[in-house]
A and B are shown apart, each in its own frame.
Chain A
Amino acid sequence: MISLAYLALIAALIPLASILVETIFRGLSAMNSSFFLEEIPPLGEPGGGIGPAIQGTLIVVALASVMGVPIGVFSGIYLAEFRQARIASVARFLNDVLTNVPSIVLGIFGWTLIVVAIGWSVIAGAVALAIIMIPIITRTTEEAIKLVPMTMREAAIALGVPRWKTTLTVVLSNAKKGIATGILLSVARISGETAPLLLTILGSRFWFSGFTQPTAALSVAIFNFSQSPYRLIDWPRAWGASLILIFIILVINIIVRYATREKYGWANT
């Protein structure tokens, strides 16, 4: 009977292995130097690359991080330092709920907030992604700060250091690894998001042309290529873009895994 449990384990790892192998082999066949550097051609037209999609993903993710990281980290600090406050437990609960709001709903939200006002734009996409990021960072920051031993705080306070300074120096410098982990994981998570971007940045074939303009992104490009009828031209591009995306995400996950080892449990829950 115990073998059944192991069988379940193997059954779950088969799709993972298949996804990785197929992406690597089919993706590599689409790669050459122009694939990284050239503009996206119209569907069905040979040549070109997916340069703008790589650029767009980097820009949107960076802008989302600029908005999301400070808010997430500060709320995490608040929740951990004032963990007894009644409002903190409500905020913690809502934070968990927000983590699980379907990403397409966040896309709709980004659309009503920003696209209605200024049109499909990088800013709208970044806001939607920042809202996905914030609860993840809040959660991991809080957990990281809770791991800092109380004795360290007490030592600082005994030396006459004010509370805010204790938090900003002693506590934060001890928790920085955990906080960085949370930020990295949230970056990995948002770089693969598609549904919210589809409703906010729309996708494009051209290089970045301003924060209030539509832009391309890897995930959106994968979706568009996969819907194309030209199997020999566009499908390999979808796999190539997937390979780049998976590569970014894998590298982040391996760095996080290596840096934290035994310390934290499973993430992404």
Chain B
Amino acid sequence: MLIACNVFVVLGLMFYEIIQNSLLSIQMYGAEFLLGTKWQPFPPNPNILPSFGALPLIWGTLVTSAIALILGVPLSLGISLALSEFAPKSFNYIISFFVELLAAIPSVVYGLWGIFVLIPFLQTNVYPYLQGALGFLPIFQGTIRGPSILTGGIVLAIMIIPTVSAISRDVFAAVPNSQREAIVALGATRWEKAGIVMSYGRSGVIGAIMLGLGRAMGETMAITMVIGNSFNLFGSLFEPGSTLASIIANEFTEASSPPVYVSALMEVGLILFALAIVVNALARLIIWRSTRKIKEAGMV
């Protein structure tokens, strides 16, 4: 009984410790921290205070996660439909093992692969053509750099595929067969049947996507290694940037000298923690409610 309460203790203590440690920065910068655009822990002139504005980091996190969802979600839905609706069962078993392996590969290995395999490939074979085709949009203008926000988003897209596809496959599998039989009896093709399954499991899929979003926002090592680590706000996707998680990984071990520096990084962690908890709790609630609804409907 007491041991099962470890989760209350751990989460509570985590909140307490992180808030406690970021108090200094919260008091010094207040709302400026969230809206400021300058991150300068060591000002050139010793008479100026260091400034910490997390807006470029929040921007980097949101943009890379958005790219990850735009690229990753259609692929994941295709995979889960292929596995739950179209593929034979024996094939299913092997493929789901491979997709599972995609989740088992450590983030730092994704980063290594991103630096030395994916970036050279994208830089020569994809980005120039992308700029040629869509260069009229401001987000695709400017010099093409390998380590960039776009590369970060692409790596994240690969990393959220196992999460989103596993959960949406479970949601599709929970759709009662009577729904499929009814639409097939009306003369639907297999693809139209898949459409019905998708619309039936819609809210569960939304939950799966939000869980993917949670994973993308919190992902640290892979993105730190491919995003280029500079500050970018509303710039081109080919520019390097930073995310909430990457700045902690990059600067934390070196941030010993002014106490407010550590505290500012703690506050970045606090923002990340709060974002992750909200997104994941919402996702879990949506998934839980939708599978319950589907199961209840299936029993009637």
Contacts and interface: CB of A to CB of B under 8 A. Distances in A.
Interface in A216-256: 219, 222-223, 226-227, 235, 238-239, 242, 245-246, 249-250, 253
A188 B160 CA distance: 18
A134 B273 contact: no
Contact of B75 (A8, A93, A223, A242): A8
B100 A266 contact: yes
A269 interface: yes
A269 B291 CA distance: 15
Given A9-B79, A192-B105, A265 B218 contact: no
Contacts of B169: 266
Contact of B7 (A108, A113, A135): A135
Contacts of A268: 100, 103-104, 162-163, 166
Interface stretch (A44-52, A97-105, A149-157, A175-183): A97-105
Contact of A75 (B6, B86, B105, B107): B6
B253 interface: yes
A269 B204 CA distance: 14
A31 B82 CA distance: 40
A15 B18 CA distance: 36
Contacts of B13: 109, 113
A264 to B, nearest CB: 11
Given A74-B4, A108-B248, A267 B112 contact: no
Interface residues of A, number: 81
B11 A97 contact: yes
Nearest to A16: B102
Interface in B88-105: 93, 95-105
Interface in A95-132: 95-98, 100-109, 111-113, 131
Contacts of B97: 257
Nearest to B83: A9
A9 to B, nearest CB: 5
A101 to B, nearest CB: 6
A5 B78 contact: yes
A100 B211 contact: yes
B112 A242 contact: yes
Interface string A167-197: 0000000000000000000001101111100
A60 interface: no
B109 A19 contact: yes
B116 to A, nearest CB: 7
A79 interface: yes
B81 A12 contact: no
Given A97-B284, A102-B276, A109-B14, A222 B7 contact: no
Contacts of B142: none
A239 B300 CA distance: 55
Contacts, number: 254
A166 B185 CA distance: 50
B42 interface: no
A111 to B, nearest CB: 8
Contact of B11 (A71, A88, A98): A98
Interface stretch (B23-31, B48-56, B219-227): B219-227
Contacts of B273: 101-102, 105
A256 B185 CA distance: 41
A1 interface: yes
Interface in B19-52: 20-21
A158 interface: no
A142 B58 CA distance: 37
Contacts of B277: 97, 101
Nearest to B285: A93
15 contacts: A13-B98, A15-B102, A19-B117, A91-B5, A97-B11, A101-B276, A102-B245, A103-B218, A104-B220, A105-B14, A105-B218, A105-B272, A108-B252, A112-B17, A265-B166
What are the 9 closest A-B residue pairs judged by CB atoms, nearest first?
A8-B78, A102-B218, A192-B106, A78-B4, A5-B82, A195-B220, A75-B4, A1-B191, A266-B166
Interface of A: 1-2, 4-9, 11-13, 15-16, 18-19, 22-23, 26, 71, 74-75, 78-79, 82, 87-88, 91, 93-98, 100-109, 111-113, 131, 134-135, 138, 188-189, 191-195, 198-199, 202, 219, 222-223, 226-227, 235, 238-239, 242, 245-246, 249-250, 253, 257, 262, 265-269
Given A22-B117, A104-B218, 9 more contacts: A12-B75, A13-B99, A22-B113, A78-B4, A98-B7, A102-B220, A103-B218, A107-B248, A189-B104
